[in-house]
Amino acid sequence: MSHDFMNTKEVAQYLGIHEKQVYALIRAGKLPATRITGKWLFPRQVLEEWIESQARSALQEVREKTKEVSGALLAAGSNDPALDMLLTFLGNRRNTFIFTSTVGSVWGLKTLGEGKTEVAWCHIYDPQSAGYNTPAVVKPYLGDMPYVVIRLFTREIGLLLPKGNPVGIRGLPDVLNGDVRWVNRQVGSGIRIFFDNYVKKAGANPQDIPGYGEEVYTHLEVGLKILSGQAQVGLATVAIGRMLELDAIPIMEEPFEMIVPKASFFTTGVQAIIETLNSHSFREKVALLGGYNFTEAGRISYAEV
């Protein structure tokens, strides 16, 4: 199909559901589609807007429910294996519950700016400064809201490859020549922003990269696509590569941070996150993953005055 339209099979792969479920959603009037010459077609932009609206509705529903749960916080944004472990530790040991939605760094900031969440997990690359989560990339989503950026950890990001690197990838330039199948992250994720900036700077056409139009939402999905042979290379945490016994070529170390309203910094939930980050039991568990640095965990990277 063209880049602007998707068929039922492509939509099923995009949503991670069976094609029969796509037809069921069409019949129920819950999925935007148009019928042309007897075939159902889905405008990509309309579909992406529908997914985003569904995510916002789900977040609002959860927000209403968490009002009755003591010590609960609603969060949205990026994905990371160590973050998943952190959330488990908080629920099991601190009686602090973080209800989170994996929608990517950009939508995490948007939901925070709209007042629908209390925390955004974020790692947005700023091409102008080569930094992350700078005011230039964060402030447009938060408007007049005073906010604080808190470092959770830094993590090693790399190119994940099949064991033995059979296609001989040496670095990101090899992804641009069109000879290997890429597994892409969704629009709005920090990894996607970084990669798109790299492609643009290199003067390459993203549509020439096999697999560029197929998206997944987590680092684990990137690894599983490669492990199953559906893709040959993708960007994800090196920790996922170790977990799945894939090869990995380290590309960079990036900060993974949480952004909260300034007025929320001293709340019980936020302070519990910082305390858990620095606990010996949590650090000991995450050390098994490898590829993480907690030297600056809990440090305020930026705060509006």
Q: What is the mean pLDDT of residues 143-162?
A: 96
The tokens describing 202, both together, are 């290199």
Q: How far apart are CA 166 and CA 232, in angstroms?
A: 9
Find the mean pLDDT for residues 13-18: 73
Phi, psi angle pair for 145, to nearest 5°: -70, 120
Written out in words, the top-level CATH class of the domain with range 69-305 is alpha beta
How far apart are alpha carbons 302 and 296 in whole angstroms?
Answer: 13
297 pLDDT band, cuts 50/70/90, is: very high
With beta carbons less than 8 A apart as the criterion, state whether 250 and 137 touch. no
Ranges 90-99, 255-264, 268-277: which has the least confidence:
90-99
* Mean pLDDT, the chain, whole residue set: 88
**What pLDDT shows up at residue 203?**
96
Helix or strand run (H / E) with residue 39: strand 39-43
Orientation of helix 44-66 relative to helix 105-113, angle to 10°: 50
* DSSP conformational letter for 192: H
Q: Is the pLDDT confidence value at 45 over 80?
A: no
What gap in Å lies between CA 22 and CA 132, rounded to an integer?
37
- Going from N- to C-terminal start, the domains of the chain cover 1-57, 69-305
pLDDT of residue 68: 45
Q: Given a cut of 50, is residue 1 above it in pLDDT? A: no
The Cα 134–Cα 115 span in angstroms is 20
CATH code of the domain made up of 1-57:
1.10.1660.10
At residue 49 the predicted structure's pLDDT band, cuts being 50, 70 and 90, is confident
